[in-house]
Chain A
Amino acid sequence: MTAQATGTDILDVAREQVLERGVPLTHEQVVAVLRTDDDRLEDLLALAHEVRMRYQGPDVEVEGIVSLKTGGCPEDCHFCSQSGQFTSPVRSVWLNIPQLVRAAEQTAATGASEFCIVAAVRGPDERLMAQMREGVAAIKAAVDIEVAASLGMLTQEQVDDLADMGVHRYNHNLEAGRSYFPQVVTTHSFDERLDTCRMVKESGMELCCGGLVGMGETIEQRAELAVQLAELEPHEVPLNFLNPRPGTPFGDLEPMGSSDALRTIAAFRLALPRTILRYAGGRELTLGDLGTRDGLLGGINAVIVGNYLTTLGRDPKEDLALLDELQMPIKALNETL
């Protein structure tokens, strides 16, 4: 029976179920949270923050990302400026090893413990795997930072190779809930994505798996993403807000409103009480400075600092000053080992 059907307030239900017992919200309950009115938003964020503090603590994990191979991707993810199928102005380019090490150094200088190498590909070929082998070794020799990767769909052999290289976490997003996924990507299936996620988990690497919101999905489909992510039990969920890119099929969508974005953060926290929930792309556009603060007090406990793959981010000094002000220490490198 639903909270609404029983006349029970969803925030009271969430407090008892998630905060007190650690049981994630169901799909129906996440929908109810996403439908709460703006005048309940403050209470909702406060509850999500309590859940985060109880199950994850005050630390914030800081990460930098870089695009090893930009543009020219054969896939048609409708939100992405790096697809070769759209008329996006992003041109194809590879980063060389010294540039990759420099990017890792810039990330480490912010105090970040994580550096994620990303490539715009369906899956890695031997050239990319060779570049990763050389790049990861060069970074580990020069920079004190954990290396993660996001290279698309993997074979079992590639999963094993990446683990052997010392890649400790692998990102592969679901992007959208299963029912909306065909409206977002047509060149591969939701199940193909799940296959890679499951192989990564079985390998012992940490799984980083999230998605995007604000792509035209319904509230029910947004809740579906949260619950399907929870079923996968990833180590980390990066939450992206659509930043409509020129030339892509979603390029004319309006950015999500800040209240919806904050409600989504809180709802994802209540669906994933024990998972790292990271601010990923689009927060500058959707939330701005004030919203960034509200999200950190509403369930977020990890951030990407600095620039993104093809767009620019906030000054890391501003993010770090905000964390200091909120008395949220940056998770130390040795705590991630």
Chain B
Amino acid sequence: MDAPTPAGPVARPGEPAPWCGQCGEDLTEADHARCVRAAPLEPPRYCAHCRRRMVVQVIPGTWTATCSRHGSVEQPTWG
């Protein structure tokens, strides 16, 4: 199984996703260990493709993150 990435599931396959969904910094530059640890309890706040702050809505079993440019993704919190 692949290690979790802080970009999170918002990143769309096949498109460059250089930004961390948790902290919004460049994935290749900063240390994102804390972001990886936080990811199970934090929805992503930044779009992995363009670094825009996303509109995030959390309800008891799901969360939705919307980038004004790259669209919306809804995820169940648990499998």
Which residues of B, 16-69, contact A by the 8 Å Cβ criterion?
Answer: 23-24, 40-43, 45-46, 53-63
- On whether the beta carbons of B56 and A91 are closer than 8 Å, the reply is yes
Residues of A within 8 A of B59 (CB): 66, 95, 99, 102-103, 106, 307
B62 to chain A, nearest CB (A): 7
- Closest residue on chain B to residue A108 by CB atoms: B60
Q: For the complex, what is the distance from the CA of A157 to the CA of B53, rounded to whole Å?
A: 38
**B53 interface neighbour in A89, A95, A316, Cβ under 8 Å:** A89
Q: For the complex, what is the distance from the CA of A315 to the CA of B24, rounded to whole Å?
A: 26
Tell me how many residues of A have a C-beta within 8 Å of chain B: 32
Q: Contacts A93-B55, A315-B78, A317-B78: A307 and B45 contacting too (C-beta < 8 A)?
A: no
**A93 interface neighbour in B43, B56, B62, Cβ under 8 Å:** B56
- Closest residue on chain B to residue A115 by CB atoms: B60
On chain B, which size bracket covers the interface?
Answer: 20 to 34
Residues of A within 8 A of B40 (CB): 312
B5 at the interface (CB under 8 A from A): no
Q: For the complex, what is the distance from the CA of A82 to the CA of B58, rounded to whole Å?
A: 13
- On whether the beta carbons of B23 and A308 are closer than 8 Å, the reply is no
B24 to chain A, nearest CB (A): 7
- Closest residue on chain A to residue B42 by CB atoms: A311
Q: For the complex, what is the distance from the CA of A308 to the CA of B24, rounded to whole Å?
A: 22
B33 to chain A, nearest CB (A): 15
Q: For the complex, what is the distance from the CA of A77 to the CA of B37, rounded to whole Å?
A: 26
- On whether the beta carbons of A312 and B63 are closer than 8 Å, the reply is yes
A246 at the interface (CB under 8 A from B): yes
- On whether the beta carbons of A103 and B42 are closer than 8 Å, the reply is no
Q: For the complex, what is the distance from the CA of A217 to the CA of B56, rounded to whole Å?
A: 31
- On whether the beta carbons of B57 and A93 are closer than 8 Å, the reply is yes
Q: Contacts A246-B23, A312-B41, A312-B63: A307 and B58 contacting too (C-beta < 8 A)?
A: yes
Chain A 95-106, CB within 8 Å of chain B: the 1/0 string? Answer: 100010011001
- Closest residue on chain A to residue B54 by CB atoms: A91
A70 at the interface (CB under 8 A from B): yes
Residues of B within 8 A of A317 (CB): 78
- On whether the beta carbons of A311 and B58 are closer than 8 Å, the reply is yes
Q: For the complex, what is the distance from the CA of A308 to the CA of B60, rounded to whole Å?
A: 7
**B42 interface neighbour in A99, A312, A315, Cβ under 8 Å:** A312
Residues of B within 8 A of A107 (CB): 60
- On whether the beta carbons of B60 and A89 are closer than 8 Å, the reply is no
Q: Contacts A91-B55, A93-B55, A285-B41: A312 and B60 contacting too (C-beta < 8 A)?
A: no
Q: For the complex, what is the distance from the CA of A309 to the CA of B78, rounded to whole Å?
A: 16
Q: For the complex, what is the distance from the CA of A313 to the CA of B76, rounded to whole Å?
A: 12
**28 interchain pairs, CB-CB under 8 A:** A67-B57, A70-B56, A91-B53, A91-B54, A91-B55, A93-B56, A95-B57, A99-B57, A99-B59, A102-B59, A103-B59, A106-B59, A109-B61, A246-B23, A305-B60, A306-B60, A307-B58, A307-B59, A307-B77, A308-B58, A310-B43, A311-B42, A312-B40, A312-B43, A312-B77, A313-B41, A315-B78, A317-B78
The 9 A-B residue pairs whose C-beta atoms are closest, nearest first, are A306-B60, A103-B59, A89-B45, A106-B61, A315-B78, A64-B60, A106-B60, A93-B55, A107-B60
Task: Beyond the given A91-B53, A91-B56, A99-B57, please list 5 additional residue pairs across the A-B interface where CB-CB is below 8 A.
Answer: A66-B58, A93-B56, A106-B62, A285-B41, A307-B77
